[in-house]
Amino acid sequence: MAGITRSDFILQDGVPHFIETNSNPGLSSESIVPKQVRAAGMTLAEFFDALVKSLCLKIVSFFLEAEDFQNKTIQNEKASIPWII
């Protein structure tokens, strides 16, 4: 999963059992994510800034790869059809 999630487990006889993944975990000051962010030495604003920047880079990368794929496909089609210039 990408972004912010929280996965819950329970231990039974020392064996972890998966319960659920919450894709929208709480963000109150007592919730786990803000505590983890503070423990990492960041503010929530810094954390979300980094998260948004990371998402933007992924989006740009996706479109650049798609454009590169499209250009290669067009070049291959031109190479296989000699009368297309």
- Residue-wise pLDDT tens digits, 23-50: 888 888 889 889 999 999 999 999 999 9
Q: How far apart are CA 85 and CA 78, in angstroms?
A: 7
pLDDT of residue 18: 96
Q: Which helix (H) or strand (E) holds 85?
A: none
pTM of the model: 0.60
pLDDT of residue 82: 47
Tokens of 32: 């786990």
Looking at per-residue pLDDT, the higher value among 3 and 53 belongs to 53
Tokens of 4: 């912010």
